[in-house]
Amino acid sequence: MLKINNTTSKIRNIMTTNYSLALAMMVGAILTTSPSLRADDTKSSSDVAVSPPALSPDNENNNGQDRHRDRINLYRCNELSVDAFGTASLGRYTFEHWSSSRVRHNTEFGAGVGLNYFITRNLGLGADVYSENTSGPFIDSAEANLILRLPLGHSGFAPFIFGGGGNQFDMAKTWFGQAGGGLEYRFTRNVGLFVDARAVLPDETKCYGVGRLGLRFAF
């Protein structure tokens, strides 16, 4: 009987020791893994906090500022532009004896190209050539002008005036002076529409008027 009791006591002691050891191992494992889990949670939270939404107010403000800046810079200094335009010319007699019938029968139509360079935002130089009479020289007129333009805020509109001179090759070959004005509208920084009219004063022939309507491509 004493032998059985001793055996039972030994078994109980072994079980108690193993249970204590297992409990100690579990506690150690929990303490070891908890800091790494907390670190992962902290990292994930910080990543979420740092990443801004795709359409944040700051991004919207930046887009608005970019659009505003583009509108301000529609007309720039050191700007080179190319013109492609159609022309309509009327002689002095038609202006002095104005009627719809004379305008319809006496108007000469043509086409031309031009090149402009603006030294400042407001002051530039321009040159253009055009042809209206296909039976004579290929180029009817070539001229150069000093241009003064005044952009109207951020509207895209810019009225301008110009003056200069050139050489007429068709009908009578002669030098001439001219002056005129017009209006340009820029759709973007690089594309605009313009219309203008000028009075041409030749040395050896009667004065006449020329109107232009065309596209302007700025760079």
pLDDT digits (tens, 9 = 90+) for 156-170: 999 999 999 999 987
Same domain, 47 and 104: no
Rounded to whole angstroms, the Cα distance separating 186 from 121 reads: 14
Contact yes or no for 183/157 (Cβ under 8 A):
yes
Cα-Cα-Cα-Cα dihedral sign, residues 165, 169, 210, 190: negative
Give 24-80 pLDDT, tens digit per residue.
555 454 445 444 444 444 444 444 444 445 555 555 555 555 555 555 689 999 999
Same domain, 84 and 170: yes
Rounded to whole angstroms, the Cα distance separating 72 from 183 reads: 18
Note if the pTM is more than 0.75: no
Same domain, 93 and 193: yes
Same domain, 12 and 102: no
Residue 99 within a domain: yes
- Beta bridge partners, 142, equal 129, 167
- Total domains in the chain come to 2
- Domain containing 158: what range? 78-218
Same domain, 177 and 106: yes
Residue 61 within a domain: no
Contact yes or no for 85/111 (Cβ under 8 A):
yes
